[in-house]
Amino acid sequence: MTEDVVGLADFNALPDEAAMRALLACCSSSTFARSVLADRPYASAADLLAAADAALAALPESEIDAALAGHPRIGGRPDTAASAREQAGVAAAGDAVRVALAEGNLAYEERFGHIYLVCASGRSGAELLDLLRTRLGNDPETERRVMRTELGKINRIRLRRLLGAVR
């Protein structure tokens, strides 16, 4: 189920348990998934995305941390097909970029206490490294806002893929 494309009508018709699994594959916060699930059926993909945005905005920090736990490090070993697809630009990067990403990830985690999360889709390893280095200059409050924004972008991509809007 986690990589299946179901379309909106089928998503609306899924049993709750299956819909919950599909939503957790998009964002590993159970509070997020329950919130989005509770508003079914959706009249349009836009309505589903708006509900997902609202659910993310309402998450307490502890649930943001749960959502982060569902993502591998940038440049690390992708744990799902979605992560592998999203980080395809890193796979093509040279060893120097991968080593620098690993070092940058450690510095980021020491500074902010959580993984470096970025919407990696369509970005090269070098671009992701540049973004990481830039974000290391953020204060913790700013970085938390940036990270939430990036999480929202990833959620939208994954939800749109679930609905068949992205291949």
Instruction: Name the stretches of the chain with pLDDT < 50.
Output: 1-2
Rounded Cα distance between 42 and 62, Å, is: 27
Asked if 60 and 91 touch (Cβ cutoff 8 Å), the reply is no
Rounded Cα distance between 120 and 130, Å, is: 12
Which residues belong to CATH 1.10.3330.10 in the chain?
1-70+159-167, 73-136
CATH of the domain spanning 73-136:
1.10.3330.10
What is the per-residue pLDDT for 91? 82
Q: Give the end-to-end CA distance of the chain in Å, rounded to a whole number.
A: 16
What is the per-residue pLDDT for 3? 52
What is the per-residue pLDDT for 166? 59
What is the per-residue pLDDT for 89? 83
The angle formed by the CA atoms of residues 99, 101 and 29, to the nearest 5 degrees, is 135
CATH of the domain spanning 1-70+159-167:
1.10.3330.10
The CA–CA distances, whole Å, from 156 to 71, 80, 124, 136, 151 equal 15, 17, 20, 25, 9
Whole-model pTM: value is 0.91
What is the per-residue pLDDT for 129? 97
